[in-house]
Structure formats: C-alpha cells, structure tokens
Amino acid sequence: MLKKIRIWAALLFWLGITLLLMDVSGVLHGYLGWMAKVQFLPAVLALNVGVIVALVLLTLIFGRVYCSVICPLGVFQDGISWLGTHRSKKPYQYKKELKWLRYGVWVLFVIALIAGVQVLVALLAPYSAYGRMVQNLLQPLYLWGANGIEALAERMGSYAIYPREVWMRSLPTFLIALGTLIVIVVLSFKGGRTYCNTICPVGTTLSFFSRFAMFRPVIDADKCKHCKACELHCKAQCIAIGKDSEKIDYSRCVDCFNCIDECKFGALQYRWAWGKADSSPSAQNDIKGQNDSGRRAFMTGTAVAAGTLALKGIEAKAQSLKKVDGGFAEVLPKEAPKREVPITPPGSASVKDFYRHCTGCQLCVAQCPNNVLRPSTDLERLMQPEMSFEKGFCRPECTRCSEVCPTGAICKIEKEEKTLYHIGTAHVNRSLCVAEDGTACGKCAQMCPTGAIVMVDNEGMGNQIPTVNEEVCIGCGACEFYCPARPVSAITVNGRNQHC
C-alpha cells in the first residue's frame, strides 16, 4: 500500500517536472512551476527558507521521501533500476557505506557552493543533472515528434501545434548531459540508488536528518526470520540481515517501502521510531555546522578576451543587376560575436549575482520562446545560461525565464519592468554597417524598443548611420538580431555587470 502510494506520487511528480522541462508552449509553468521551486538546491540558492525548512521537516518526520518522490533524478533511477532488476530474484545485497566518497563529494560540493564554483555544483546537483538531460536529450526528441505531428496538423488546417526549431545550444553541455545520462544509467541499472547514496550531495545532506526520522521502516526482531527478502530488494542496499542481526542504515534509506512489501512475515513496519537508537553504523551523527547555503563567493574574473570584433568586413551587398524573376537571395546564418561580459536575463540583478544563484538546470533554456538563452561554453560558467541573439531577441512582452527560474537567479519581473533592467549595451561596428557605403538602412533604430539608437548623418554619403545612447539602451538585442549585416551583426550587445 505504502509502496503503491509512493509509486503513484513519484510518477506524478516526475511526469510534471519532465513536462515542465520540455514544454515550449508556455502554458505548463503556470501549473507546474512550483515543482521546480520545491527542489532542494534551487530553494537553497533562492534562499527560499520556507521550502528548505519544509523539506528538512519532511525528512525529519518521514525520512528521505524527497529522494523517492520529489527528486526527478531519483525517480528516473528507480525506473532504470526496475528495468535492470525486475526479472531477478536477488537483485541487491547489502553494501557498506562508501564514507570517504560520500562525504568527500559532499565536502567538495559545499566548498564549491561557497566558493561559487558553479560548474561543479551544476555537475553534481541532482535537479540540474536531470534538467540538463531533459533539455539536451529529451526535448529535441519531443520537438521532433511534435514537428512531425505538426505537418499533419498543417494539412488539417489546425494551429494547435506549431513548428519549433530544434538546435543544439551548446556542444559541451550536450556532451556533459550525455555523460550524465550514461553514468546514471550505468550506476542505477544494477546498482539501484548508488548515485543517491555515494555522490548526490542533496541525498547526503538529507541523510543527516533522515537518520533521526520520526517514522522509519523498522524490523521487528521477534518476527524476523532472517530470510533476507528485504535486503535482497533494497535499492539503497542499506539493509543488513545477518544470522541473527538485522540493521537498516537510515542515512541511506529513501523510504521506497519495497522491503515492507517483500516481507512475508510482517516483520517490517513503517512506524513511529522517534528517539530509537539509530541502527546505522554511521559515524557522522553530528549535524552541527551544516552550511546549507553557499552564497558568498566572487566569480567572474570576467574573461577580458581582448578579442576585438575582428570581423571580416562584409561586401556592401552588391545590388547586382537583376536578371530573372523569383528565387531567394541567400541569408547567411548569424554568428555570435565575442562578448566581453556575458548577457544574463532581465530579472537577474547582476552578472555575478546570476551566476552565483544559478544551478544550470536548463529550465529557462528549455522554456525561452525566442531562442535567446543557451548554456554557456565558457569554462567558468559552463552549463549556466547566457543570452545571445542569433535566432531571436529578448522580446519586450516576454518574461518567461523570470517566471520559471526556481533559484532566484532570475527574479520574477513584470513586462513593464523589463526596461528597468539594463542587461547590456549595444555597440556599432561601422566597418560592418551596411549604411557605411550609403545604403539607406536604419533597421536597428526602427526595431529598438526603447529608442536608444540615434541615427546621425553619414558625412558625405547622404544617408544616416546608427549611434547608441548607452543610457537608454537595455541590451535586449533587437538591433543585433535584425541587423542585416551577416554573418556578424554590425551592431552587437555587450553585457553589463550591474543590471539595475
């Protein structure tokens, strides 16, 4: 019974978060956004005290049900290990806690969190790892599928489904996601919750509380026949049944209730066990000095890649003599310029603040309807998002990323507030500008939503060229996106360190 409830609750949660991470319609986050916000690490980074306290209390009362129900990576592993072991009669057996690895990783993680080495944080955190896999590996399949149906919908004149471009936002992040998937699948296929109990820093953190949980699965020594049925079916491999001893390591138990289902003698019960001796052989029962929040740190040695915008000057588009009718001129795809300061979304107070809070879960990347956000390839903020404008710009009416961000890296903003965030400043590179040779353009000025681009006389050419009023520019990228110079725009946005 308990197991059934756990499975259904877990499936609902897992499905909800997975859909949230794949959704492109912008509908789901209104209903499911909270599922991301109750994830442990995002709540820590968002300093969401309510959620942290609730999760700690939940663990103190019921044990690590978080790992079995709320954590999408945990549920995913349960699925994989079910595939790997459901045919086997003796799928698992007790394993000793790998203390050095478990606490070693945890200490490393806390240090990384405090020091602001977010690459490591994003790499290890379970929610980030899961988001990364869904956005990089599952969303493309989902979109291809939807695009396939879209062709059908188009034929039937339906507009319910519309085509979305599927593109790789960052190769390193894609490869890391693939690596993550392989590691998780390999570990869980036969090993159950090995990842959760040896690597996952959130699992380790919760284990500090779960070992004192008020409710736990307890073995009634009088009824136990030491048949090992529970041990052999414990995914966490934390039940040790000896000849006449029976022990459960509650620091590793994720409350999946498989053991209770397996026991034919009714010896296992999930019941009140407050204050009872912890039967775990754990040494670390001191929970003092828990640093659940890491939020100092510096960051950003701001890679001043003194790379100038050394871009090849485009040939003034030869208005070559038109000979025949029809056809299309080639439109080169845009290339991203080098940005000395990365651009982070409106709603982030500063670049530093953004990267300090972000866990790289890819939720905003998956949701961005304008194809602006993508994971950075810069080593310092690998997998954490940044903005670029080759496929779209940050549209004035859109605040989607600020609505979905679970960590507070992007604070919720209203669209009216968007102009208050100066996320970047545009610069004109006259050597690339099509107006330089006298062509009438002014596209950037026309598209600028804040009127920051001032057209001035192009001396001797009889037309006008753009200049930027830095104070008015908000860095939305409309000018860069619409600039007809290709592949590199003649007007490009550089990030601003402080946004408001």
Please, what is the minimum distance in Å from the beta carbon of residue 447 to another protein?
7
Other residues' Cβ atoms within 10 Å of the Cβ of residue 371: 18
Please, what is the minimum distance in Å from the beta carbon of residue 153 to another protein?
9
- Tell how far CA 411 is from the center of its chain: 16
Contacts with another protein by CB under 8 A: the residue count is: 31
* Amino acid at site 161: I
Q: Where does this chain touch another protein (CB under 8 A) — which range of 85-93, 224-232, 237-245, 395-403?
A: 395-403
Q: Where does this chain touch another protein (CB under 8 A) — which range of 227-235, 244-252, 324-332, 354-362?
A: 324-332
Please, what is the minimum distance in Å from the beta carbon of residue 443 to another protein?
4
Please, what is the minimum distance in Å from the beta carbon of residue 286 to another protein?
57
462 binds another protein (CB under 8 A): no
Q: Whole-angstrom Cα distance, residue 136 to residue 461?
A: 48
**Tokens representing 327?**
């056809």
**Tokens representing 453?**
């681009």
Closest CA to 278 of 216, 186, 200, 229: 216
Q: Whole-angstrom Cα distance, residue 362 to residue 385?
A: 7
Max Cα-Cα span within the chain: 100
Instruction: Name which of residues 400 to 419 contact another protein (CB under 8 A).
Output: none
Among 244, 315, 330, 459, binds another protein (CB under 8 A): 330
100 binds another protein (CB under 8 A): no
484 binds another protein (CB under 8 A): yes
395 binds another protein (CB under 8 A): yes
Identity of the residue, 293 or 463, whose beta carbon is nearer to another protein in the bound complex? 463
Please, what is the minimum distance in Å from the beta carbon of residue 167 to another protein?
13
Site string for another protein, 278-317 (x = CB under 8 A): ---------------------------------------x
Instruction: Name which of residues 163 to 222 contact another protein (CB under 8 A).
Output: 163
Identity of the residue, 100 or 328, whose beta carbon is nearer to another protein in the bound complex? 328
326 binds another protein (CB under 8 A): yes
Residue with tokens 């604070």: 411
Among 50, 301, 327, 460, binds another protein (CB under 8 A): 327
Please, what is the minimum distance in Å from the beta carbon of residue 365 to another protein?
19
| Bridge partners, residue 493, by sequence | 426
Site string for another protein, 144-173 (x = CB under 8 A): ----------x----x--xx----------
Among 222, 243, 244, 328, binds another protein (CB under 8 A): 328
Closest CA to 419 of 473, 340, 375, 362: 473
331 binds another protein (CB under 8 A): yes
33 binds another protein (CB under 8 A): no
Please, what is the minimum distance in Å from the beta carbon of residue 434 to another protein?
7
Half-sphere CA count of 326, side-chain side, radius 13 A: 0
Site string for another protein, 421-460 (x = CB under 8 A): -------------x----xxxxx--xx-------------
Among 301, 319, 414, 462, binds another protein (CB under 8 A): 319
27 binds another protein (CB under 8 A): no
Q: List residues binding another protein (CB under 8 A).
A: 154, 159, 162-163, 317, 319-331, 395-397, 434, 439-443, 446-447, 482, 484
